[in-house]
Amino acid sequence: DTEVTQTPKHLVMGMTNKKSLKCEQHMGHRAMYWYKQKAKKPPELMFVYSYEKLSINESVPSRFSPECPNSSLLNLHLHALQPEDSALYLCASSRPGPEQYFGPGTRLTVT
C-alpha cells in the first residue's frame, strides 16, 4: 500500500462550526505533514509530526489544531475558521528522510 488517503474530499463549513480532516497511511512512515494550498499558489507547510510528536508548527493560528493519535493517522481539527481559510489541505507522509508522499487533499470552503 503506497497511498495516503484523506477524508473528506470536499468540506463546506460555517465560521462557527467544528470539523475535522483525516489523513491515513499504511506505509510505516513515521513523519506526517499538513500543508495548506491556496488557488494557483504552492503548498505551504503547516505542521510536521515525527514519531507521533509535533516537531514543527509554522506559526499556524490556534483555530487549526493537529492531532496524531497513532503512527498511521493524522487529524486536523478546525474551529471558528474564517473565509480566507478556504483552501486545499494536503497531507503527506515520509520515512524520516527522503521523499514525501502526498494525499489527494481535502478542498475546504468556509462560508
Partner 1 sequence: DAKTTQPTSMDCAEGRAANLPCNHSTISGNEYVYWYRQIHSQGPQYIIHGLKNNETNEMASLIITEDRKSSTLILPHATLRDTAVYYCIVRKGFSGTYKYIFGTGTRLKVLA
Which value, in Å, is the radius of gyration of the alpha carbons in the chain?
A: 13
SS3 at position 27: coil
Mark 81-100 with x for binding to partner 1 (rule: CB under 8 A) and - for no binding: -------x-x-x-x-xxxxx
d(CA 51, CA 19): 25
Residues 40-59 touching partner 1, rule: CB under 8 A, are 41-45, 48, 50-51, 55-56
Amino acid identity of 23?
C
Q: Which residue number, 16 or 40, has a Cβ lying nearer to partner 1? A: 40
Residue 24: strand pairing partners: 5, 73
Using CB under 8 A as the criterion, which residues of the chain lie in contact with partner 1 when the complex forms?
4, 31, 41-45, 48, 50-51, 55-56, 88, 90, 92, 94, 96-105, 107
